[in-house]
Each structure stands twice: as structure tokens, then as C-alpha cells.
Amino acid sequence: MDSSKFITLRTFSSAGEAAICRSLLESNGIRCEILNGDASNVFPVPGDLSKIRLIVNEADAPHAEEILSAGFDRTEFDIRSAEGNENP
């Protein structure tokens, strides 16, 4: 990552959820990092110190937020999942 200013876009209590969001952003060309992902599992600390943080470049934050806030069409997801599980 470059030396631009980074901000916390989201915080999570689950490393898995943070990883999903990171993957979604990266697949859309937004570079990001997860902070405290491993430490929160090894050393559980109550409060904000244990939060897993997803950080992005400040300039990318609006687009990243738009991506993470977008919903998805559950019907389309179910149809595509069913199509992938059919046997010829």
C-alpha cells in the first residue's frame, strides 16, 4: 500500500466476516488490509482493542462503502446456486 492516509472503514468481531469484505473489495480493485485479525483470536480483549479493523485508503473509502453497502439479489443467488448443483 502507498503512504496515503488510511481510515477504518468497518470493524468486525469475526475474522471470517472481515475476510469476506476484504475479498469483495479486492475483487473490485480496492486495496485494503485487515488489522487485529489474528490477535483478536489469540488474545481476546474486551472493548475496541479487540475489534478487527478493515482499513482502506481514504480516497477509496466512498467507493468501498458503496460496495459493502450494496445488497445482492437473493433470488438470483439461489437460481445460480441451483444451476451449479444440477447434474447433467
- pLDDT for 41 equals 54
What is the C-alpha to C-alpha distance for residues 81 and 37, in angstroms, rounded to an integer?
A: 30
Q: Write out the H or E segment, with its range, that includes residue 56.
A: strand 52-57
Residues 6+ apart with CB under 8 A from 71: none
One pLDDT digit (tens) per residue for the chain, 88 residues: 456 799 999 998 888 899 999 999 999 999 999 998 765 555 555 655 668 999 999 999 999 999 999 866 667 656 766 776 654 4
Domains of the chain: 6-85 (3.30.70.1530)
- pLDDT for 11 equals 93
Amino acid, res. 49: L
